[in-house]
Amino acid sequence: MNIQKSESLYQEALDVIVGGVNSPSRSFRAVGGGAPIFMKKAKGAYFWDEDGNRYIDYLAAFGPIILGHAHPAVHEAIVEASMNGVLYGTPTEKEVRFAQMLREAIPSMEQIRFVNSGTEAVMTTIRLARAYTGRDKILKFAGCYHGHSDLVLVAAGSGPSTLGIPDSAGIPQSIAQEVITIPYNDINALEEALNHWGNQIAAVLVEPLVGNFGIVPPVPGFLEKVNELVHQAGGLVIYDEVITGFRFHYGGIQTIFGVEPDLTALGKIIGGGLPIGAYGGRKEIMDKVAPMGPMYQAGTMAGNPLSISAGMACLQALSKPGLYEELSRKGKRLADAIVKLADEYRLSVTVNQYGGALTVYFTDQPVVDYASAQATDGERFAQFFRLMLEQGIYLAPSKYEAWFITTAHSEQDVDETIRAVDHAFSQMSNKR
């Protein structure tokens, strides 16, 4: 495959943009290094790079692009909104309507505030939980990524782990020591941590279904137990649904499993591809937020007409009956086919699939927490990633990421992907 233009752009990028990329998860370091592919345009399920190669896109921009690229309804909403000015710094009716839409879908978000990214949304829920409880400590699960604010970069997942660093420089020890990290899906560890620090913990931060060391669902009863134990200890439960919100259902994991947190953070899909975040929860807690209460949070771009319009158009399209069932069916078809091929080629592969998202791990063990995800074979993944890329299938460049099926992926796209997996596995194995 000719990627000459990507290679030369990468050289120029390295000179002026640190690392050549504007987010480390876009670099190809975790898959053997070299130039990442520079994309030129995207439509539906496809990307075209600067050299004219076409790819079926399973990255979906790390989650937001659930309707595929340049979806007509989202495109129209952005164009129309832009004609009326892109930023007012005043409230608008659309913000009200969009907040109402979100609350209808996720009733635990009794009151909502829009921000500009998932990072901001999570960061603010933590400050709010601290303001509400008067406590400082935060409990989180190892490997879960919650954005790049100081507190949550302690034992975070996809961002840093993509680069193989479990932590970040520049985070004061005084902040890191406020964060307790325990393994996901481990109730005993939660009980132990709460026995020890229970009366100092402001909140437990949970990905109610993990998307950041691959797709890892909660074991049965886990979310219920988290709520019970944390509430007993007087802390709040925060769900980070930045990846999971509107990904598997018109609502969140909380509306699928019927377990409600005190606060929720959203991002990604609710912006239809434009920058957005939102947080919300019980009114009594949200009343602490300025200008109602003493917890300060603000944003020049927050609730801007373009992001809100794109988000509304995206959610309207997602409310179509049967849409999520269709994504799930395709996700399962792809996952089943990969498992079957791995079996035929006698490769050690575990596929975690939930709805229209899946992760292909090179291991013969189940992946239920960060330690089991870390133990999977990164070199095998890198080999697989390259073999898929050469055949025009674009996966996230990390063994910890998900493949996302979008409404734009056709049955033929899935068939083409399965054929590419067949070829990749055949190269990786000499047994049939």
CA angle in degrees (0–180, nearest 5) for 56-67-313 = 155
How far is residue 281's CA from residue 110's CA, in Å, rounded to a whole number?
5
Q: Is 264 in contact with 279 (CB distance < 8 Å)?
A: yes
Is 122 near ligand PMP (CB under 6 A)? yes
Q: Is 250 in contact with 324 (CB distance < 8 Å)?
A: yes
CA dihedral 373→377→379→384, nearest 10 degrees, is -90
79-118 footprint of ligand PMP as x/- string (CB under 6 A): --------------------------------------xx
Residue 70, class by beta-carbon neighbours within 10 Å (0-12 exposed, 13-18 middle, 19+ buried)? middle
Q: Which residue is nearest to ligand PMP (CB)?
A: 118
Our answer to whether residue 324 is catalytic in this structure is no
Our answer to whether residue 49 is catalytic in this structure is no
CB of 276 to ligand PMP, least distance (A): 8
CA dihedral 386→391→394→398, nearest 10 degrees, is -20
Q: Would you say 74 or 270 has its CB closer to ligand PMP?
A: 270
Q: Would you say 31 or 266 has its CB closer to ligand PMP?
A: 266
Comparing CA positions, the residue from 29, 32, 35 lying closest to residue 11 is 35
- Which residues are within 8 A (CB) of 61 and not within 5 positions of it... i.e. 6 or more apart? 273
Our answer to whether residue 336 is catalytic in this structure is no
Is 207 near ligand PMP (CB under 6 A)? yes
Which listed residue (95, 240, 262, 413) binds ligand PMP by CB under 6 A?
240
Interface with ligand PMP (CB under 6 A), residue total 15
Q: Which residues on neighbouring strands pair with residue 404, listed in sequence order?
A: 357
Binding to ligand PMP (CB under 6 A) within 254-273 occurs at 267
Question: Which of the following is catalytic: 10, 145, 345, 400?
Answer: 145
Which listed residue (71, 146, 247, 249) binds ligand PMP by CB under 6 A?
146
Q: Would you say 64 or 68 has its CB closer to ligand PMP?
A: 64
Which letter does DSSP use for residue 35 in this model? P
Binding to ligand PMP (CB under 6 A) within 285-344 occurs at none
How far is residue 141's CA from residue 120's CA, in Å, rounded to a whole number?
19
Question: Which of the following is catalytic: 49, 240, 262, 413?
Answer: 240
Q: Would you say 267 or 331 has its CB closer to ligand PMP?
A: 267
Is 57 near ligand PMP (CB under 6 A)? no
Catalytic residues: 145, 240, 268
The contact set with ligand PMP (CB under 6 A) reads: 62, 117-119, 122, 145-147, 207, 211-212, 240, 242-243, 267
